Amino acid sequence: MSGKPTQKTPSKLPEWLQASRKRAKKRHSKTKSKLLYYRTSPAVVLAPAEDALLIDRIFRALKESKTWGDFRGAVPEEHERIMQTFDEIDEPRPADSDAFDKNRIGGADEGDYPRWLRQEMLEWLPEAAIIECLEIGSSMVSGPCPEVRPDKAERLIELLRRAGYKLEHRPDLKFEGYGD
């Protein structure tokens, strides 16, 4: 060893993205464990397993619940969080027997609920993968919109595997809000 201190390579990411990644670091500290991915048109979405499974359960509950009790049974942790939002605005909580109406959940009618896992990829993907494989567009409402173009999908998967990620193809999961 030469005893010289190593210098950190400056990031090639835009400053706004560097700041966002820094804020999200704690939330994604376990991300290297396992990832799920599946192809959508025109992009690929990758997500930590626990996030993808939760978002899939939420989408299914939003579509299939007939009553608020059905929704609670499908996603109890989300049900309680949503009930707290009713409390915050002094609106009566719906009873378990009440007909389920997803439009009573803030953001569900605009596509802002559940959270957008594709956007969250910017918080945890390795910088090299973002630079080489993603295009970052912008949504007027939701902000940055990353896309993995189909011609870069295999390269992204290769980069992630080399970085120690485990990938599992799960086309049966719905963790992006395309269609019903």
pLDDT tens-digit series, residues 122-158: 988 888 899 999 989 887 777 888 888 778 988 998 9
User: Rounded to 5 degrees, what are φ and ψ at 48?
Assistant: -55, 145
Torsion over CA: 29, 47, 64, 172 (sign): negative
Q: How far apart are CA 120 and CA 133, in angstroms?
A: 15
Q: How far apart are CA 37 and CA 66, in angstroms?
A: 29
Which two tokens mark 116?
């957008």
Answer whether residue 114 is part of any domain.
yes
- The count of C-alpha atoms lying within 13 angstroms of the C-alpha of 73, restricted to the half-sphere facing its C-beta, is 11
30 vs 115 pLDDT, higher one: 115
How many domains does the structure of the chain reveal? Answer: 1
Q: 89-97: which pairs have CB atoms within 8 A and are 24 or more residues apart? A: 94/68, 95/68, 96/67, 96/68, 96/69, 96/72, 97/67, 97/68, 97/69
Q: Residue 144: name the closest of 36, 9, 11, 13 by CA.
A: 13
Answer whether residue 59 is part of any domain.
yes
As a whole number, the mean pLDDT across the chain is 84
- Which residues form the domain of 161? 15-169
Judge if pTM exceeds 0.85.
Answer: no
Answer whether residue 25 is part of any domain.
yes
pLDDT at 39 over 70: no
